[in-house]
Chains A and B, each alone.
Chain A
Amino acid sequence: MNPRRKQRLIVILSIGGLLSAAVGLMLFALNDNIDLFYTPSEIIEGKQGKTPQVGQRLRIGGLVVPGSVTRDPDSLQVTFSLIDTGPKVSISYQGILPDLFREGQGIVATGVLTSPNHIQAHEVLAKHDEEYMPPELAEKMKGIKHQKPASLDDAL
């Protein structure tokens, strides 16, 4: 390689190295802000020593605790609990839930922390995992029998 090309290559590679280091440090510093949501244990126990304040607007992501979903028969009001590895946080929400909302499903809810372990949500999103398989296989492997939610006719 002739010296001029070599010099250009070295200049470009070193600029590239510096740039990726700068971006890396920046992303590392902003780490907390890039996370989309708090997990339930981060809300109760704090994230890096800081617990969210009551009244703070935040997002929470966790699994819906089986058996915790209660619906108000007269309205769209629903309450449920979310859990990850530690304590639970309860959520209340009024509105239409996404189709994928089930017990045991990952959920991301946006709302206001009204007490240290309760969130009044105004948006509930369903998170799905990266596994794709036909229903029969899912039943065999995971023992879950997922079916489409009963259609409106059946529900009435």
Chain B
Amino acid sequence: MFKWLHPYAKTQAAYSLSQRLTPWFAGICVLLLVPGTLWGLLFTPADYQQGDSFRIIYIHVPAAMLSMSTYVAMAVAALVGIVWQWRTAFMAMIAMAPVGAVMTFIALFTGAAWGKPMWGAWWVWDARLTSELILLFLYCGVIALYSAFDDKQQAGKAAGIMALVGVVNIPVIHFSVQWWNTLHQGATITKFDKPSIATEMLWPLLMNIAGMMMFIAALTCMRLNNEILRREQHRPWVSALLHDRRENQNAV
């Protein structure tokens, strides 16, 4: 079933694929994020309860949702790396970790900035906020563990196990607002019912979620490429590639 994936276990194939995909991700990201953000911040109507303060949703919700999705993607990469012993999978894992950590930080930060005017508090130790903070610590743990080893294959395995263990936190974050009573409100769009947000407010939000997804994909590809080049710098194909680039630069 996944036979078509096998060639990409080779770093060279993975490099050329992500090199080719990067401009697409980046382009679509700009096409979605710029109009989505402008639309959301300037042209959607204000909320009936929260007025203009609700507009922070257009940054907060994409960042929060994708901090969790990125974690799952990272854990899948870790699983592939551990079970099939793909070095490229570990490189993809560590390429995603700081991106996801930054998304988590943005979600926590914008959440605090939203909480102060609306709830009246920057921070409350409720289940949703606390589990999202734990997610940030998990990302930091994966990054720290990976950089603690000199042998990057060992580092990948150790950090990969940590990433896999942390997956337990993801359903806890998502269902925290249902399982326990919290100050944080319930899910608006990630539920089976109709989204409880007016249509003209929903569209820019969906655009920003998709745009942020593309942003994360583009950053991941760029970081993956750097990681591949750094780890494979003594391979002939990398020297050939760098040699070509230098030639091109000299020609210009």
Residues of A within 8 A of B (CB): 5, 8-9, 12, 16, 19-20, 23, 27, 31, 34-37, 39, 61, 97-100, 108, 123-139, 144, 146, 148
Q: Does B23 contact A (CB under 8 A)?
A: no
Residues 187-215 of B at the A interface (beta carbon under 8 Å): 187-188, 196-198, 200-201
A133 in contact with B172 given A35-B180, A36-B126, A126-B118 (CB within 8 Å): no
Interchain CB contact (< 8 A) of B201 among A27, A132, A135, A139: A132
Q: A126-B120, A128-B118 are in contact. List 4 more A-B contacts (CB 8 A).
A: A5-B84, A127-B185, A130-B186, A133-B197
Interchain CB contact (< 8 A) of A36 among B82, B84, B127: B127
Residues 170-193 of B at the A interface (beta carbon under 8 Å): 172, 179-183, 185-188
B196 pairs with A8, CB closer than 8 A? no
Which residue of chain B has the shortest Cβ distance to A148 in the bound complex? B51
A146 in contact with B48 given A125-B124, A131-B188, A132-B196 (CB within 8 Å): yes
CA distance A131 to B198 in the complex (A): 8
A16 in contact with B185 given A36-B124, A128-B49 (CB within 8 Å): no
Interchain CB contact (< 8 A) of A12 among B45, B121, B124, B164: B164
B119 pairs with A135, CB closer than 8 A? no
A125 pairs with B120, CB closer than 8 A? yes
Main SS at interface, chain B: loop
Interchain CB contact (< 8 A) of A129 among B83, B167, B185, B201: B185
A127 pairs with B79, CB closer than 8 A? no
Q: Does B9 contact A (CB under 8 A)?
A: no
Residues of A within 8 A of B27 (CB): none
Q: Does B35 contact A (CB under 8 A)?
A: no
Residues of B within 8 A of A5 (CB): 83-84
Residues of B within 8 A of A (CB): 45-51, 54, 57, 79, 82-84, 117-121, 124-127, 164-165, 167-168, 172, 179-183, 185-188, 196-198, 200-201
The 7 A-B residue pairs whose C-beta atoms are closest, nearest first, are A138-B48, A134-B45, A98-B120, A133-B198, A130-B185, A36-B126, A132-B197
A-B contact pairs, 26 of them (CB 8 A): A5-B84, A8-B82, A12-B82, A19-B165, A19-B168, A23-B168, A27-B179, A100-B50, A100-B119, A108-B183, A125-B119, A125-B183, A126-B118, A127-B183, A128-B49, A128-B50, A130-B185, A130-B187, A131-B188, A132-B198, A133-B47, A133-B197, A134-B45, A134-B46, A134-B47, A134-B48
B181 pairs with A37, CB closer than 8 A? yes
A36 in contact with B172 given A100-B118, A128-B49 (CB within 8 Å): no
